[in-house]
Amino acid sequence: MRERLVAAFVGLTVVVVGLFGVPRAYMLADMVRAQEQSRVDRVADLAAVVLDQRLAAGQLVGPDLLDRLTAAGEQVSVQVGGRTVVSTGYGQAPRPDDLLATRRLAGGGVLSARRSATVVGDEVSQALLPVVLLGLGLVLVSGVVGVVLARRLARPFQELATAAQGLGEGELHPRLPAYPVPEAQAIRDALVTSGGRIARARDRDRELAVHASHELRTPLTALRLDLEDLALWPETPPTVAAELRRSVGDLDRLGAAIGDVLDVSAQGRRDDETEVDLSRLVADVVRRVAAVGGPPVTCATSEPVPARVEQAAVAELVELMVTDARRDAVSVRVQVDDRGGHLEVRVVAEPGTSGPATQADSAWSGATALAITLGARLTRGHAPGEAVLRLPVRREPLSDRPVHAERPRTPL
């Protein structure tokens, strides 16, 4: 985009300079030739007056007299008394395009004054040189201004393109400033609105998964056990026991359906996973949080830790852990390790003089639920202000995993 803007700006400048400069050049060249023709006419008039006086006095006319009446690039010739006298300072052969002025002398004879076309061409070139330099300067300035303006105009759209790509990678809350360009501002508002809608839909999906996993499976399991106990009671009539066993089968089918829904939801989240360097992802989150101000935060891991995770969700979890640990802390340290069986992100806060901060149960429970939907585990550490996130190791390509894995239908 920037290259096209620069090309358009420079091209427009070239067109404007051409529309102004070409007619101006022709006008200037005609003006210089007219001035040179006037110079030749003045030389011819002056030489005619001098020669008329000289001939009237009966004096001879020689080349030395004509040389005093001419300058460089000029020639004066006189035909009088059957002879021709020519000045000697011309230095070149006459050309058809030389400027010429002719005068008849009072005592008889013809005087001719000539101006060299080469000298006239040099004068025209010197007169056109400022115009040419001005045009080239305008083109160069327009190129520099075009680059600056193109960068300023293209920067919002480049940021918007990056934000749009981030939506596809799960960064659903892009941090975009307001733009003075109405089109860019409209795109920015659309991206922010779309990201918010996708984030709300994703949160509802995760809440549904957690709710189905904890609020449905546990009561179903308890109800199944109660029905089995009732069916085994001696006091239960055989017909009622058979009906209870049939109800247990219905509960098994309901539990299997719930498991299938959870598997499809989990597979959808697996499809959002990308190959990332977990240590770099955590370092980016640490820098973003540290830029807000507050206690210093350091990332103690520099070695790359390859992983396949849902980038935006893991970044959200790490940001919540670091933000939670910074409350009333002197400093916070983040460590990323590959434990072989799992990946670990450990956040350790050095408590301040007032002691460890009170943890926000609501925020922590939400983070715990988010970790569950990712197949991860978020727990408190042994030390105050310590939190540990354990992520499963998944490094196989997504294409190697079946889209819908067959789930064993075992009783609850």
Burial class (CB in 10 A: 0-12, 13-18, 19+), 397: exposed
Q: Are residues 103 and 24 in the same domain?
A: yes
Q: Are residues 214 and 319 in the same domain?
A: no
Mean per-residue pLDDT for 273-285? 84
Q: Are 40 and 101 in contact (CB under 8 A)?
A: yes
Q: Give the whole-angstrom CA distance, residue 378 versus residue 391.
A: 9
Q: Are residues 378 and 312 in the same domain?
A: yes
Q: Are residues 212 and 303 in the same domain?
A: no
Within a domain: residue 402? no
- Specify the long-range contacts of residues 87-95, CB closer than 8 Å, at least 24 apart: 87/63, 88/63, 90/114, 90/116, 92/116, 92/118
Q: Which of 238, 271, 304 is the last residue of a domain?
A: 271
Whether the per-residue pLDDT at 170 is higher than 70: the answer is no
Most confident of 57-71, 119-133, 246-260, 386-400: 119-133
CATH number at residue 286: 3.30.565.10
Please tell me the total count of domains within the chain. 3
Instruction: Give 341's pLDDT tier (boundaries 50, 70, 90).
Output: confident
CATH number at residue 260: 1.10.287
Q: Are residues 265 and 283 in the same domain?
A: no
Whether the model clears a pTM of 0.85, i.e. scores above it, the answer is no
What is the span of the domain harbouring residue 284?
A: 274-393
Within a domain: residue 152? no
Instruction: Give 338's pLDDT tier (boundaries 50, 70, 90).
Output: confident
Q: Are 103 and 110 in contact (CB under 8 A)?
A: yes
Q: Are residues 208 and 247 in the same domain?
A: yes
Q: Are residues 290 and 359 in the same domain?
A: yes
Q: Are residues 220 and 304 in the same domain?
A: no
Within a domain: residue 151? no
Q: Are residues 106 and 206 in the same domain?
A: no
Identify the pLDDT of residue 135: 87
Q: Are residues 109 and 214 in the same domain?
A: no
Q: Are residues 12 and 48 in the same domain?
A: yes
Q: Which of 271, 287, 313 is the last residue of a domain?
A: 271
Identify the pLDDT of residue 410: 35
